[in-house]
Structure 1
Amino acid sequence: MKITDAIALLERMAPLAYAEDFDNVGLLTGDKNAQLKGILVCHDALEAVIDEAITKNCNLVVCFHPILFSGIKNITGKNYVERALLKAIKNDIAIYAVHTALDNHKRGVNKIFCKALGLTNTKILIPKENYIRKLVTYTTPENADELRNALFNAGAGNIGNYENCSFNSQGIGTYLGNNESNPVIGAIGEFVESREIKIEVTFEKHLEAEILKALFSNHIYEEVAYEVYNLQNRHQNIGLGMIGELETPMDEEEFLLMVKEKMQCGGIRHSAFTGKQIKKVAVLGGSGAFAIKNAIAAGADAYLTADLKYHNFYEAEGKILLADIGHYESERYVKDYIAGYLEEITETPVLITEVDTNPVKYF
């Protein structure tokens, strides 16, 4: 097995196209064609983690946060980022980051967060926009089933909990081929009127190349008529944050004590108690101040996230309990999820780092 094979598995778990535009996900260092010896999963690929990978004969480090995030003009070892990169490069260790590609996945960071708290009836808090496209094409009735099934197999036609979704209508297509044409129906220079089926399917935009490949490979016409549209629909199964419900409502103090225990928090900073029972809970792993209004609009009684600033707590305005449980703490179970996923589908050794990479300490 090569590193590129492990990358394919990781991209199946968290497609890179799901990541936010500002992010730096995927293979950060290393030769993807190298033979894979072992995988070390961590939260942050610090120098100590690279040392651990060397000791444990792992030449692929899968991290949640990308150690290489901002642009750099030289690598001289002057800071913790450059030291980790230098050591990885010198020792032929590849580093792969998932970050917001897994944040936005319906079974990713925030689903893991919800499971740890025992939340049910979960759904995406901020569905991703501008991610759904529609393909419209036209073919003969005899070719329609084969073509439609090929498009489904390429990933088209998935809407929420439903697969193989399409809309089909009948009409009359016309064409007249020139001297260089090779029409399937009719002859060169003949004006043809033919019964056709119009097929419409939606798909996630990162699948467009595969969808079009299936279209051209399975269409019988010499010239394929098709249209691709960007839709304004929100994608309900991709996006940031998640909201769910506790099985039994709790008072606010009891709720925070439960969160502290389940997420192993060193401490929780929170807004003033509202006096309401907590039933509906919104979560967003990592820095989530930007989603406070979304949590309130969704009717959440509490919103759990991290990195809230002083003035963010005012935004609660007595409508919601805001709780900053710590950045690392809100994402603490992600590396276990990644390792568990890889262990099930590869025989390559998969280890979880023993290095504590949380930079925040509690007194």
Structure 2
Amino acid sequence: MIVNEVTGLLEELAPLDYAEDFDNVGLLVGDPMAEVSGILVTLDTLENVVDEALTKGCNLIISFHPIIFKGLKKITGTSYVERVVLKAIQNNIAIYSMHTALDNSPKGVNAKICEVLGVTKTAILIPQKGSIKKLSTYVPRAEAQTLRQALFDAGAGNIGNYSNCSFTSDGTGSYKAGKNANPTKGVIGKTHYEEEVQINITYRKAAESNVLKALFKNHPYEEVAYEIFTLENKDQSIGMGMVGELPNPMPEEFFLKLIKKNMRAACIRHSGLLGKKIHKVAVLGGSGAFAIGAAINAKADIFITADVKYHQFYEAENKLIIADIGHYETEQFTKNVIVDYLTKKIPNFAISLSESITNPIKYY
């Protein structure tokens, strides 16, 4: 396999369009056409991880966190980021990052936390904005069904549990072909009127490339008239965090012990206990304090995340427990998600789970 083929599989799990605007995801280092000798999956790409890849004969590192987050103005080895990039380039090792694309995936970071903690009946905590688009185009009535089906096949027209969703309206289109045109209908230099159908159809932003390819390939006109709108509607199936339920509610102290054990947390920083059983659980891997309000609105009894600041614990307002278990701890199982996924997709390929512990925080 080549690098592009592997990353293409990863983007079926977590399309890069799922990522937040501030992020830096995708292939960060390396040749997309290089043949892959082996894959190493890690949470962070550090120098010791690159060394591990070399030892194991892997020339593609799949990393959750991006080693290059801000622009590099030089690569001289004076920082850990520069040293990693330099070593990777010198040894022809490619580095691919998934980060918030996998955060927002319904089968990503937060789904794994819920699995580890036994949380069921899950839903997205903060559905992603700007991820639903609408295509409006005009096509001769006779060709409308062919085009509509092609758009469905490309991934458009899915709303929740429904597929093949669209709306059409009839009208009359007009155009006059110029001297260099090659009109499908009508003649050059004369205004042509055509009975047309307007097709309106929604699609996820991640499917836009395929949808537009289908539009241009299956539309009969030389010049395709179309409009694309970004909708305010939220996609309930992708986004940050998850909320779900414990099959059997349990006392707060018991659940905190379960979190500590199952998430391998050295300690838990939390707001005051409320003296009631835990039933509804909200989670958000990584720095998730921005979602405290969303967890409260979701009627969660506890919100599990990381990197909560002193004053942010006050935001619990005695409405839920905020539990900070550590950044690394919330995301540590993410590499297992990636390995399990790739192993199913390419079972006969060398895929290694990194043994390097990349947590920069130590507890005394």
TM-score for both structures, normalised by structure 2: 0.94
1:292 to 1:187, Cα distance in 2 relative to 1, 3 A? same
The CA distance in 2 between the partners of 1:75 and 1:187, in whole Å, is 60
Which shows bigger deviation, 77-86 or 348-357?
Answer: 77-86
Deviations along 1:281-319, one digit per CA (max 9) or x if unpaired, are 110000111111111111111100001111111111101
**Unaligned regions of 5+ residues in structure 1, if any?**
none
1:58 aligned partner, one-letter code = C
Q: How much does 1:83 deviate? A: 2.3
Deviations along 1:331-352, one digit per CA (max 9) or x if unpaired, are 1211011011111222320000
8 Å contact 1:36–1:348 — kept in the other structure?
A: no
Which shows bigger deviation, 91-100 or 24-33?
Answer: 24-33
SS at match of 1:105: coil
SS at match of 1:89: helix
Task: Tell me which residue corresponds to 1:230.
Answer: 230
What is the correspondence of 1:161-176 to structure 2 with a 5 Å cutoff? 161-176=161-176
Q: How much does 1:133 deviate? A: 1.2
What is the correspondence of 1:1-363 to structure 2 with a 5 Å cutoff? 1-177=1-177, 182-188=182-188, 192-346=192-346, 347-363=348-364
The CA distance in 1 between the partners of 2:218 and 2:328, in whole Å, is 48
Deviations along 1:69-95, one digit per CA (max 9) or x if unpaired, are 222322232332222222212111111
Which shows bigger deviation, 170-179 or 320-329?
Answer: 170-179
The CA distance in 1 between the partners of 2:160 and 2:111, in whole Å, is 16
1:72 to 1:222, Cα distance in 2 relative to 1, 3 A? closer
The CA distance in 2 between the partners of 1:107 and 1:141, in whole Å, is 40
The CA distance in 1 between the partners of 2:191 and 2:6, in whole Å, is 53
2:361 aligned partner, one-letter code = V
The CA distance in 1 between the partners of 2:44 and 2:191, in whole Å, is 65
**Unaligned regions of 5+ residues in structure 2, if any?**
none
Query: How many matched pairs?
Result: 363
The CA distance in 1 between the partners of 2:247 and 2:190, in whole Å, is 69
The CA distance in 1 between the partners of 2:62 and 2:189, in whole Å, is 60
1:191 to 1:85, Cα distance in 2 relative to 1, 3 A? closer
1:58 to 1:195, Cα distance in 2 relative to 1, 3 A? same
1:190 to 1:91, Cα distance in 2 relative to 1, 3 A? closer
1:114 aligned partner, one-letter code = C
1:100 to 1:193, Cα distance in 2 relative to 1, 3 A? same
The CA distance in 2 between the partners of 1:235 and 1:119, in whole Å, is 22
The CA distance in 2 between the partners of 1:209 and 1:65, in whole Å, is 26
1:189 to 1:35, Cα distance in 2 relative to 1, 3 A? closer
The CA distance in 2 between the partners of 1:354 and 1:138, in whole Å, is 55
1:362 aligned partner, one-letter code = Y
The CA distance in 1 between the partners of 2:230 and 2:134, in whole Å, is 7
Q: How much does 1:149 deviate? A: 1.2
The CA distance in 1 between the partners of 2:76 and 2:188, in whole Å, is 68
Q: How much does 1:320 deviate? A: 0.7
The CA distance in 2 between the partners of 1:83 and 1:247, in whole Å, is 47
Q: How much does 1:246 deviate? A: 0.9
1:305 aligned partner, one-letter code = T
SS at match of 2:329: helix
1:144 aligned partner, one-letter code = A
1:192 to 1:109, Cα distance in 2 relative to 1, 3 A? same
1:213 aligned partner, one-letter code = K
User: Sequence identity of aligned pairs in percent?
Assistant: 56
SS at match of 1:32: coil
SS at match of 1:50: helix
SS at match of 2:43: strand
The CA distance in 1 between the partners of 2:318 and 2:50, in whole Å, is 46
Deviations along 1:247-272, one digit per CA (max 9) or x if unpaired, are 11112111111111221111111000
1:90 to 1:224, Cα distance in 2 relative to 1, 3 A? closer
Superposed CA RMSD in Å reads 1.8
SS at match of 1:44: coil
The CA distance in 2 between the partners of 1:203 and 1:43, in whole Å, is 31
The CA distance in 2 between the partners of 1:179 and 1:353, in whole Å, is 63
Q: How much does 1:187 deviate? A: 4.5
The CA distance in 2 between the partners of 1:21 and 1:139, in whole Å, is 34
Q: How much does 1:185 deviate? A: 4.2
1:46 aligned partner, one-letter code = L
Deviations along 1:117-157, one digit per CA (max 9) or x if unpaired, are 11122111111112211111122332112101111122211
SS at match of 2:76: coil
